[in-house]
Structure 1
Amino acid sequence: MAVYEKQLELLTQQARSTHSSALVVLQDGQRLTEEIMDGLGDRPIETMSVTKSVVSLLVGRAMTLGYFDSVDVPISDYFPEWRQGQKRGITLRHLLTHTSGLQNVPQAGEELYPSHDFVQLALCAELSHAPGTAFAYNNKAVNLIMGFLGRASGRAADQFAADELFAPLGIDQWSWQKDPAGTPHAMSGLQLRATDLARLGQLALDDGRWQGETLIDPRWIEASTHPATPVTDAIGLLWWMLPAWTHYEVTEDNVANVETAGGTTAQLASLRATIGTYQDRSALMRRMSETGLIAPALPAGSRWMTTSTGPLVGFRHDGWRGQHLIVHRPARLVVVRLIAYDHPHVEADGSSFDTIIDQVVQLASTVVAST
């Protein structure tokens, strides 16, 4: 137990040192840690892209209630303007796995925020790839899911969430950002207290069951938290996979890729100094810091490192600024870390590139070893 507690303290220290607003750790539904770290009290915090994990649960709830029969339902069944051409082949699965093929731009906000209607923006998008043939993270396409939920359930997606997901879990403090047309965002925009986000993680860990009631068919949880498309094994139905370990390697080929993409002399020199294999993200980030290399500054599309992963042990979703919802199955752990926009020591437009996921995996290994 001493090792277990030490690793939990290391995770807590990591959360504090990276200016977290809140950290919650549950083990088999019991609280190990619940701490508000920014001095601003327990309040709903913007979850950023972690919103997508809640959208996955909402879709699962809707299917459990019988509003549609399959994740492979064509979107054109609900939006008749897609009943011709290649778009008639786009399914709900494609939207949930970022394989719809809809045209996208790297900075989605450039298209989305000037738009009056996020659903119509997605419906009008051209195709960059045939549906189901390529993975491309696509916030514009994901937003269409909320339009689909509204039409399938006959209720606005946020009202459906309030009635069918939040109320059964006792979640009563939340808000959901909408586009000007009144549709909630699916890409981000859900504000929840860290403790309530942890409840949703626990619901997923418990295969859709809450206090003896099955809210979501366990088959949906199984399908959504395991690889759900042949195009990539990294994603389920809006959940990212959590492997037992991830090793990072920087090779000469990676350097060549960055050089071809137009990397600067300083970037290439720094990257060459980073060549090697790293057992976890923390070690790689330390070495990057030592060489002055900052990954996000590298040319877009450059593969500056190669990753290899171990067997799956859970699932997660992450969000800009450093938001995390992590579920580790063997350890029965649910971990939430959030950073608020009003945090007194974090810039409003800043991001947190840290090692919370590594710390959670290490904590989980000690939990498993102690049971």
Structure 2
Amino acid sequence: MFHAIQGPFASALALVLTLATPVVVAAELSPEARAALDSLLEEGRQSRSDAVLVLHDGRDIGSYYRDGTPPAPIELMSATKSVVALGIGQLLAQGGIASLDQPVADFYPEWKQRGKRDVTVRMLLNHTSGLQNVMLATEEIYPAPDAVQLALAADLGSEPGAEFFYNNKAVNLLAGIIEKASGKPMDAFFNDGLFGQLGVQAAEWDKDAAGNPYAMAGLPLSAADAARIGQLVLDRGRYEERQLVPAAFIDEMLAQGQDGEPGCGLLWWRRPAWMHFSYDPGSAAMLREKGVPESLVQRIDSALAGARFDGRAAMFDGLQERFGEEMQVVREELIEKRGIGPFRLFDIDEGPVVAYEAQGYLGQYIVVVPMAGLVAVRQIAASDGDEPQPRDGYTDFTGRVIALAQAMGKLPPQP
């Protein structure tokens, strides 16, 4: 039914044939691997997922759909960024972008001023542009009539390339760069190019009032099409004997993208085999330096003194348990106002990077584990009348995919 493309990876033809069938095909799995897969899918159900899909060597080995059948395309939220990165890779191959280190000012001459002239395409991809940014897109970006012009008009808050700061505003500039480099709006560029080549049927991309598709979010895909994106990354940009994205770009995209955040590549997240968290008492000084109110610094220091967590999900659950309703205040003061992620509160012992992740609000995931030949997708639709519950985010989805790879004997077990 299918043949190998390269190494252990199944062909894209098999992917096309099997993605349409949401039946679990896990007969070849060991009892340990089957149990890990069952646990992953069951937590998908418990966390109110709309879709969970797991591929091994391009074949569907497990799936869950909330309504029994694959749902309509669901917005990827910030996982959209990871798809946009692949478009940049194609433009590099086509010559529309000279290199990742090409100045943004080549596309927007108004940036040939002191400071902004040093911002490069790479800095938009690795969150080091230095552009001032409000973390909540609903406060600044969505109300703006033109997201690209909003980014162009932003002042610099730090020296370009000097500091990692997750930046939706800066990422939206990629939509403008893609249009200038390709001569097409970003959505048309993808529909005529990568999506057409992969057979991806994207729903309408969310746009600002000026007609710019957002690069930070807004792309709806089906679970099967999201898996096609993951499989393309797993196969290092190759599909049906064609190199759609340069393999060298895929490698660079998944490598550490900057000095300040080893967990981030170029709009893809890098996940280690394990993570053990121990609260760092010295983080209180860092919080004070960043201007966090003293009362909150003391509350955090008191609540987390001596805390240890095994895994990302346990860490997030532990924060929620310790702060309860105060968690919203912690999130606003640290993440939304100052860009301080919870990882910075801890000393972290972690294993080697084994998985790569596109991740978005509410718990949208595309996870790739190259050593195991695994691609996994999780989707949950936003609901106008239903408040998200803590479990809905499925924060340990990637951890469970890694656990499946370990149970399959493809990765070393956790220490």
- When normalised by structure 2's length, the TM-score is 0.82
Give the aligned partner of residue 210 of structure 1.
239
Q: Does 1:221 align with 2:262?
A: no
Q: 2:347 pairs with 281, 294, 306, which one?
A: 306
Give the aligned partner of residue 178 of structure 1.
207
**1:130-279 to 2 correspondences below 5 Å:** 130-254=159-283, 261=293, 262-263=295-296, 269-272=302-305, 275-279=306-310
CA gap of 1:13–1:71, structure 2 versus 1, over 3 A, is same
Find the aligned partners of 2:90 and 2:388 in 1 and give their Cα distance: 34
| Structure 2 contact 271–354 (Cα < 8 Å) conserved | yes
Find the aligned partners of 2:411 and 2:353 in 1 and give their Cα distance: 20
**Counterpart AA for 2:115:** Q
The DSSP-based 3-state class of the residue aligned with 1:171 is coil
User: Which stretch of structure 1 is more off in the superposition, 361-370 or 284-293?
Assistant: 284-293
The DSSP-based 3-state class of the residue aligned with 2:160 is coil
Find the aligned partners of 1:185 and 1:283 in 2 and give their Cα distance: 33
CA gap of 1:28–1:297, structure 2 versus 1, over 3 A, is farther
Q: 1:280 pairs with 311, 321, 328, which one?
A: 311
**1:1-371 to 2 correspondences below 5 Å:** 1-38=30-67, 41-254=70-283, 261=293, 262-263=295-296, 269-272=302-305, 275-288=306-319, 291=322, 293=324, 295-298=327-330, 299-300=333-334, 301=338, 303-342=344-383, 346-347=386-387, 352=393, 354-369=395-410
Number of residue pairs matched by the alignment: 368
Find the aligned partners of 1:295 and 1:121 in 2 and give their Cα distance: 30
Q: CA deviation at 1:329?
A: 1.3
| Structure 2 contact 205–213 (Cα < 8 Å) conserved | yes
Cα distance per residue 1:267-293 (max 9 Å; x no partner): 555333xx2332213433454455455
| Structure 1 contact 20–38 (Cα < 8 Å) conserved | no
Q: CA deviation at 1:266?
A: 6.3
Identity of aligned residues (%): 38
Cα distance per residue 1:99-141 (max 9 Å; x no partner): 0001112323211112111111111110011110011111000
**Counterpart AA for 2:102:** V
**Counterpart AA for 1:280:** G
Cα distance per residue 1:150-204 (max 9 Å; x no partner): 0000111100000111111111242210111111001100000011001001001
The DSSP-based 3-state class of the residue aligned with 2:92 is helix
**Counterpart AA for 1:271:** L
The DSSP-based 3-state class of the residue aligned with 1:249 is strand
CA gap of 1:94–1:292, structure 2 versus 1, over 3 A, is closer
| Structure 2 contact 202–219 (Cα < 8 Å) conserved | no
CA gap of 1:290–1:36, structure 2 versus 1, over 3 A, is same
Find the aligned partners of 1:27 and 1:360 in 2 and give their Cα distance: 11
| Structure 1 contact 325–337 (Cα < 8 Å) conserved | yes
Find the aligned partners of 1:329 and 1:135 in 2 and give their Cα distance: 26
| Structure 1 contact 58–161 (Cα < 8 Å) conserved | yes
| Structure 2 contact 132–156 (Cα < 8 Å) conserved | yes
| Structure 2 contact 50–71 (Cα < 8 Å) conserved | no
Which structure 1 segments of 5+ residues have no match?
none
Find the aligned partners of 1:332 and 1:296 in 2 and give their Cα distance: 38
Q: CA deviation at 1:317?
A: 1.8
Find the aligned partners of 1:295 and 1:258 in 2 and give their Cα distance: 16
| Structure 1 contact 47–189 (Cα < 8 Å) conserved | yes
- When normalised by structure 1's length, the TM-score is 0.91
CA gap of 1:177–1:276, structure 2 versus 1, over 3 A, is same
Q: CA deviation at 1:27?
A: 1.0
CA gap of 1:41–1:182, structure 2 versus 1, over 3 A, is same
Q: CA deviation at 1:12?
A: 0.7
